[in-house]
Structure 1
Amino acid sequence: MAINAYTQKETSKGNESENRSNGIDAFFSPDSFSKLSSIMNNKTVMSGSYLFWEGEAADHLYYVKKGRVKLTKTTDSGNKMTLYLHHAGDLFGQMDPFQTNTQTFNAEVIEDAEFGIIEQKDLELLLWQHRDLAIAFMKWMGVMHRMTQSKFRDLMLYGKTGALCSLLIRLCNSYGVQQGNMIRIDKKMNNSEMAEMIGATRESVNRLLNDMRKEDVISIEHGTIFVKDVAYLRQICKCENCPLEVCRV
């Protein structure tokens, strides 16, 4: 859910250590990350390709070295929902060590990307050998589950308006840059993309954004959203002050 610490530095396009400061650095120390890096296999994937599909074996983790990927879920009616957007510095995957699992999302690469891929058998051996890494990994898994729960909470409890307000705050946390009294969301998203993330129609998102503009909560210039009143957004989505690691897209 949304939190009061909603601004970040601009997304890093520099070296890997800078990327980690916006991703898994909150969970893994440099030493633990070095252990993970030692078992990663590099893979380059072009935009428009898929890393995996729903229903496939979930036996890998993916560390994003550069690029972006979105995780989507297809509903029974055939509609697609975007649940996560991952960028450089993120670690993702539904692999549960020491048991068999299947993917419940599709992973679509939306910007040419490079990944460090961790195989389940290699990770299990590493966790057996290093207790500190195992503890860090458990913390990371816990936050990932909490993030999923908070997103489903947004979608189910406070309607499309609450879900959109929460999405805007998550975008501020992930891509926001302070600009005077406003927060500029540096990642441009069209109304169809936003609708896909909250389970709404493009027309509904367009109407809700127009209502927020009339209330002077946001402004939109050349496709860039500026958030003027975060307190309003937090009130509508019943903010629970979740940590930054949870309140993100």
Structure 2
Amino acid sequence: MNPTARIPICNEGTEGTARCFSADSFAKLQSIMYRKTIEKGTVLFWEGDPADKLLFVRSGRLRITKTSDNGRHITLYLLQNGDLYGQPDPSGKPVHSFNAEVIEPGEIGLIQMADLEVLLWQHGDFAIEFMKWMGLMHRMTQTKFRDLMLYGKSGALCSLLIRLCNSNGVPDSDGTLISLKINHTELADMIGASRECVNRMLSEYRKENVILVKDGYLVVKDMDYLRKICRCESCPKEVCRM
């Protein structure tokens, strides 16, 4: 596959964070994308690299992480089909604040900032929708830092489970099954805790009949319990997601 081939405009409905755009605006955005295949384990960018592109996830899955002072990578986003990501900054030469690693192979669309600026100048309706997308991304980041800082590890884990249900949940006879297979170490990396701490909290939730494990997948049985622990503010699902 030619990584520089233009992506044709498709008639697919928008998903993920790209829902901020109308069908017409999304078509304009896709018209300036360039296709690129991604392989598992590839790092698309590191903190400090030039942030001169947006990326749109057409298939596969990405992990956006922040490096702590001790060198640990804390997972802030799990990007999947339909998610648009980038750090546009009108001041000077923007750089990435996070790292992006491919955890499931697939395909992305790359959008050069210079091409994006032309669209913003030419189409006022697109510019307004782009501002809405930027506002959504900022709010998602703020709520995740809130979860990590204000309500302790238990509150952060409960919030994480709710977000995973909103992003990857499917109805199950016992509640909501999180269709993404995720281990305790990965959960710990998402809330800045140790694996032992997550093991202990999940064991307590199982005893309280709040969650269960079915064929290696987590099932949330009592969503109200989780909402109470993390002081859920009933954010819309567009914000309360991974």
**TM class by shorter-chain length?**
over 0.9
| Cα offset, 1:24, TM superposition | 1.2
Q: How does 1:186-201 map to 2 (within 5 A)?
A: 186-201=179-194
1:99 and 1:229 mapped to 2: Cα distance? 48
Q: Secondary structure at the match of 1:63?
A: strand
- The 3-state SS of whatever aligns with 1:17 is coil
Stretches of structure 2 that go unaligned for 5 or more consecutive residues are 1-9
Matched, 1:21 2:21: no
Among residues 91, 94, 112, which one is paired with 1:119 in the alignment?
A: 112
For residues 16 and 115 of structure 1, do their structure 2 counterparts lie closer, same or farther at Cα, with a shift above 3 Å needed?
A: farther
Q: Tell me which amino acid in the other structure corresponds to 2:64.
A: L
CA distance in 1, matches of 2:99, 2:67: 8
Alignment partners' CA distance in 2, 1:185 and 1:215? 19
Structure 1 position 171, deviation (Å)? 0.4
Give the secondary structure class of the aligned counterpart of 1:47. Answer: coil
Residues 122-156 of structure 1: CA deviation (Å, up to 9, x unaligned): 00011000000000000000010000000000000
Equivalent residues in 2 for 1:60-209, closer than 5 Å:
60-97=53-90, 99-209=92-202
RCO higher in structure (CA 8 A, sep ≥6): 1
Q: Counterpart in 2 of 1:243?
A: 236
Farther-moved stretch of structure 1 (78-87 vs 175-184): 175-184
Report the AA paired with residue 248 of structure 1. Answer: R
Shift of 1:99: 4.5
Match of 2:205 in 1: 212
TM-superposed CA distance for 1:22, in Å, is 3.9
TM-score (norm 2): 0.93
Contact 2:60 2:104 in 1 (8 A): yes
State the identity as a percent.
Answer: 58
Partner of 1:31: 24
Give the conservation status (yes or no) of the 8 Å contact 2:174–2:219. no
Whether the 8 Å CA contact 1:97–1:124 is kept in 2: the answer is no
Report the CA distance between 1:113 and its aligned residue. 1.9
Contact map agreement 1:69 1:108 (CA 8 A) in 2: yes
Q: What secondary structure, in the 3-state scheme, does the structure 2 residue paired with 1:231 have?
A: helix
SS at match of 1:142: helix
Report the counterpart of residue 41 of structure 2 in structure 1.
48
* Structure 2: distance between partners of 1:226 and 1:46: 29
Q: Structure 1 runs of 4+ off > 6 angstroms?
A: none
Aligned to 2:7: none
Q: Which amino acid aligns with 1:189?
A: I
Task: Indicate conservation of the 8 Å contact 1:195/1:201, yes or no.
Answer: yes
Go from structure 1 to structure 2 and tell me whether the alpha carbon gap of 1:247 and 1:96 turns closer, same or farther (over 3 Å shift).
same
CA distance in 2 between counterparts of 1:189 and 1:39 reads 34
Which one-letter code corresponds to 2:18 in the other structure?
Answer: I
Separation (CA, whole Å) in 2 of partners of 1:30 and 1:79 = 40
CA deviation after TM superposition for structure 1 residue 79, in Å: 1.2
TM-score by length of 1: 0.91
The secondary structure found in structure 1 opposite 2:70 is coil
| Conserved? CA contact 2:15–2:83, under 8 Å | no
RMSD: 1.3
| Paired residues, number | 233
